[in-house]
Structure 1
Amino acid sequence: MQDERERLIRVFSDLVQPLGRSLPSSIEVVLHDLEKLPNSIVAVHGDVTGRRVGDPATDLLLQKVAAGDFEHAVGYSTRLPDGRCLRSTTMILRDSTGTPVAALCLNSDVSVWQALGRLASDMGGLALPDPDAAPAAAPEVAAAPEEVFPRDVDELASHLIHQAIVEQNVPVDLMRKEHKIAVVRTLKDRGMFMLRDAVEMIATSLGVTRFTIYNYLNELEDEQTPAPTEAAPKRKRASR
């Protein structure tokens, strides 16, 4: 099946450039080879996120793979660190056996369209406002998640570790064992251990040894292993 897989990757890669040229320049097309994670980008057209072939997957794609979530994700919103809003789609491509082999991602920069929408809305209300009227409350809009589009694995790893630590709301030097295990659990769920030297990087950030991280992983594994059920004792048949 490896021959089929490599052939599919070549076919998918050859589609990226013509697909990208047929779409507006505000849309980036990226192909990830899931077998090459984390440095999974094998073809790219466009520069919405500034990534190139050989760059790593995003934190969201890494988490998706780590969770075994191989469903398509269509039209989800995210935000770049510079504030630009994107509308993204991730399609999982499979071989003849149904095994996921690649992810084709479209990232559309919609910030220009949002600005035009605000301008049109402003121009639609040209009447002078009533100075005595109370200002209308702004509608609450859920913030789009900030997906990280790293240029190298170190940047991806630093982001994952930083986020996991921040979510504990406790400084590292004040963390107890349960906090550090929670950090490791979060990083495991988000695919951090798919990265090379992950254990060493996490150990350094938490101020523990790499053997401590392995112990935490063993404890987390034990949590997920169901305890064996004891067989009910057989009743003795009453003598007649």
Structure 2
Amino acid sequence: MEDLKQYITLVDFLGKSLGNRYEVVLHDLTVPEKSIIAIANGDISGRKIGGPITDLLLKILKKGKKEHITFITNYKGKTGNKTCRSSSYFIYDKTKKIIGVLCINVDITPLIDFKKIIDNEISFVNYEDKKTLKDDIMENLEGSVDDLIKNMITSRFEQYTNMGSQMSVDDRLNLVRDLYNDGFFLLRGSVSVLAEKLSISEPTLYRYLNRIKRHIEK
């Protein structure tokens, strides 16, 4: 937290200078469940100080030192019915461990709506639609840990025909492995929620996790 205090004033500065369409967020990654320590124009996503980390940041945090990323720009962020153009700047400590992230999310929903109107009006014209957002990076801007846990599970469950008690052991292991790689289990309470969704006991889920960790570490 001490290393990140110098960025708190920067959040306020950027929020005021960029304008109210730009949400600026500072995350302390040492406390994923309450990572937001400063935010400007939070009405864009409905988040506030004490809010949780995002699914994208969990994945990056899970990778740790394997990928030393300075920043990511111009990827898609989703919150409710809004679409944002998002960028993140990663903050490291002296040991090169990621400890924080400064994020800027600009609400481009009005621009997308306006583009649809323009496209309809000039649909008879052939032109190249150039993409400006990275399609391979997506971030959900959740307001609570419970929402984050639920949506991370839901997005992974969509890959399977059966759910819960109807899933095969292999499907359960694959689901747990994917969520492990997503950084899902860095969140407190994630094990109990997933165990209930899978209709298994928490000890069984921990056995799955230990099995996956042994395989990854080989």
* TM-score, structure 1 normalization: 0.78
Greater C-alpha Rg? 1
Q: Counterpart of 1:93 in structure 2: which amino acid? A: I
User: For residues 122 and 162 of structure 1, what CA distance do their matches in structure 2 show?
Assistant: 34
Q: Could you tell me which residue of structure 2 aligns to residue 77 of structure 1?
A: 76
User: For residues 210 and 186 of structure 2, what CA distance do their matches in structure 1 show?
Assistant: 17
- Going from structure 1 to structure 2, the CA distance change for 1:200 and 1:79 (only over 3 Å counts) comes to closer
Q: State the Cα deviation string for residues 193-233 of structure 1 (Å, max 9, x = none).
A: 1111222221111011111111111211222233xxxxxxx
8 Å Cα contact 2:22/2:105 also seen in 1: yes
Question: Structure 1 residue runs of 4+, over 4 Å off?
Answer: 118-123, 138-146
User: For residues 167 and 140 of structure 1, what CA distance do their matches in structure 2 show?
Assistant: 30
Q: Could you tell me which residue of structure 2 aligns to residue 178 of structure 1?
A: 170
Q: Could you tell me which residue of structure 1 aligns to residue 59 of structure 2?
A: 63
8 Å Cα contact 1:165/1:172 also seen in 2: no
8 Å Cα contact 1:80/1:146 also seen in 2: no
Structure 1 segment 99-114 matched on structure 2, within 5 A: 99-114=97-112
User: For residues 95 and 182 of structure 1, what CA distance do their matches in structure 2 show?
Assistant: 34
User: For residues 194 and 42 of structure 1, what CA distance do their matches in structure 2 show?
Assistant: 18
Q: Counterpart of 1:73 in structure 2: which amino acid? A: I
Equivalent position SS for 1:50: coil
Residue from 190, 201, 207 that aligns with 1:215: 207
User: For residues 117 and 97 of structure 2, what CA distance do their matches in structure 1 show?
Assistant: 46
8 Å Cα contact 2:45/2:143 also seen in 1: no
Residue from 152, 164, 184 that aligns with 1:192: 184
- Matched residue count: 212
Q: Counterpart of 2:63 in structure 1: which amino acid? A: A
Q: State the Cα deviation string for residues 146-187 of structure 1 (Å, max 9, x = none).
A: 632222211111111222222223232321100111111111
Q: Which consecutive unaligned segments of at least 5 residues does structure 1 have? A: 130-134, 227-240
Q: Counterpart of 2:7 in structure 1: which amino acid? A: F
- Structure 1 position 24, deviation (Å): 2.4
User: For residues 185 and 102 of structure 1, what CA distance do their matches in structure 2 show?
Assistant: 25
2:80 is the alignment partner of 1:53? no
Q: Could you tell me which residue of structure 2 aligns to residue 236 of structure 1?
A: none
User: For residues 96 and 218 of structure 1, what CA distance do their matches in structure 2 show?
Assistant: 31
Q: Counterpart of 1:34 in structure 2: which amino acid? A: L
Q: Counterpart of 1:61 in structure 2: which amino acid? A: L
* TM-score, structure 2 normalization: 0.85
